[in-house]
Amino acid sequence: MVLPIRRACLLAWGLALSLPGLALDKPTGPVVLSVSGGIQRNVEERADFDMTMLAALPQHTITTTSPWHPRATKFTGPLMRDVLASVGASGRIVRATALNNYQIDIPIEELSKHNVVLARLIDGQAVRIRDKGPLLIMYPFDQSSALRTQVHYGRAIWQLRRLDVL
CB atoms closer than 10 angstroms to residue 87: 25
Looking at residue 43, its pLDDT comes to 86
pLDDT, the chain, mean: 89
Q: Which of the two residues, 23 and 109, has the higher pLDDT score?
A: 109
Residues 33-44: what's their mean pLDDT?
Answer: 93
Q: No. of H helices and E strands in the chain?
A: 5, 11
Which helix H or strand E contains 127, and what residues bound it? none
Q: Each residue of 77-89: pLDDT tens digit?
A: 999 999 999 999 9
DSSP-assigned beta bridge partners for residue 62: 75
| Residue 8 confidence (pLDDT) | 43
Is the pLDDT at 57 greater than 80? The verdict is: yes
Residue 129 · residue 51 · CB < 8 Å = no
Asked whether residue 154 carries a pLDDT value surpassing 90, the answer given is yes
CATH topology of domain 2-165: Sulfite Oxidase; Chain A, domain 2 (3.90.420)
Domain map (residue ranges) of the chain: 2-165
Q: How far is CA 152 from CA 35, 86, 111, 138, 141, in A?
A: 21, 24, 12, 9, 9
Q: What is the pLDDT of residue 24?
A: 83
Over 90: is that where the pLDDT of 127 sits?
Answer: yes
Q: What is the average per-residue pLDDT within 131-142?
A: 96
- Predicted local confidence at residue 104, as pLDDT: 98
Q: What value does the mean pLDDT take over residues 130-147?
A: 96
Give the predicted TM-score (pTM) of the model. Answer: 0.84
68: left (phi over 0), alpha (psi -120 to 50) or beta: alpha
Whether the CB-CB separation of 69 and 138 falls below 8 Å is answered with: no
pLDDT of 23: 67
The pLDDT of 144-157, averaged and rounded, is 96
